[in-house]
């Protein structure tokens, strides 16, 4: 539970960083989706319950920040969490590069999913157009390098809760 609380604290910090970066990176036209690497990491490494709770909380934070209809990004983060879990189990994703690439793909899927669902529930005249896809693509590409410090932070949090087993030689 402590780990989940730390994940939530990191998510809040990253959300704040993301919001302030929006002003400086891209001039408000696009942003870095820093919470996606958190969800991907949880999908790869966290136990199911902790990971699901963490992903839901990260999604909720994104929902509050986005100011759109509540639940959209929470649902998509849960989907991303499950997708990462499946990918982690079926594909051999190792190292920082693999994690960064997975984060980029995750950010893209999240953006496309949000676009599709919003189009589905919005009236035709106010639905977001396909032009948003370009923005989603740029955000995904920017998220790739940004995923590396997030990975380091998540590993640091996990290291806090690692217990050495007695009698194990290293």
Partner 1 sequence: MLALLKRHRELLLVAVLLVLPLGVFFAEAKRPADRSGLDRVVLAVTRPIEKVVGWAVTGTLRAWSNYVALRGAQARAAALSREVDRLEMERQDLLQARAENERLAALLDLTRASPDRTFLGARVIGVRMDPKGLQLVTLDRGSDGGVRKMMPVLTAQGVVGRVHSVQGGTSDVLLLVDRNSSIAVRVERSRARANVRGLGDPGPCRLDYALRADDLIEGDELVTSGTDGVFPRGLPVGKVARLRRTTYGLYQNADVLPAVDVTKLEEVLVLASSVRPAQAAPAAQAPTQGGR
The residues that touch partner 1, with contacts defined as CB under 8 A, are: 12-13, 15-17, 19-20, 48-49, 52-53, 55-57, 59-61, 63-65, 69-72, 74-75, 78-79, 82, 117, 121-122
Q: What's the min distance (Å) between Cβ of 169 and partner 1?
A: 34
In the complex with partner 1, the residue whose CB is nearer, 10 or 107, is: 10
Task: Name the minimum Å distance from CB 81 to partner 1.
Answer: 8
Question: Which of residues 63 and 139 has its CB atom nearest to partner 1 in the complex?
Answer: 63
Q: CB of residue 123 vs partner 1: minimum separation in angstroms?
A: 10
Q: Closest distance between partner 1 and the C-beta of residue 94, in Å?
A: 25
> Which tokens is 164 given?
């050495």
Exposed, middle or buried, 76 (CB in 10 Å: 0-12/13-18/19+)? buried
Assigned token pair, 36: 């996606």
DSSP code, position 165? P
Tokens of 41: 């990491």
Which residues have CB under 8 Å from 69's CB, separation 6+?
118, 121
Residue 61 or 100: the one with the smaller Cβ distance to partner 1 is: 61
């Amino acid at each position: 539970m402590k780990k989940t609380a730390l994940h939530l604290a990191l998510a809040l910090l990253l959300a704040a960083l993301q919001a302030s970066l929006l002003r400086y990176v891209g001039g408000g036209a696009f942003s870095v989706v820093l919470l996606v690497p958190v969800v991907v990491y949880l999908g790869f490494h966290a136990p199911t319950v902790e990971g699901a709770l963490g992903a839901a909380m990260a999604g909720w934070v994104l929902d509050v920040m986005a100011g759109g209809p509540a639940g959209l990004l929470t649902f998509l983060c849960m989907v991303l969490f499950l997708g990462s879990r499946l990918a982690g189990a079926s594909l051999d994703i190792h190292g920082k590069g693999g994690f960064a690439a997975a984060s980029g793909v995750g950010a893209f899927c999240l953006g496309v999913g949000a676009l599709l669902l919003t189009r589905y529930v919005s009236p035709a005249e106010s639905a977001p157009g396909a032009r948003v896809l370009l923005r989603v693509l740029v955000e995904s590409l920017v998220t790739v390098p940004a995923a590396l410090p997030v990975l380091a932070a998540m590993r640091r949090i996990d290291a806090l809760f690692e217990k050495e087993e007695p009698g194990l030689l290293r």
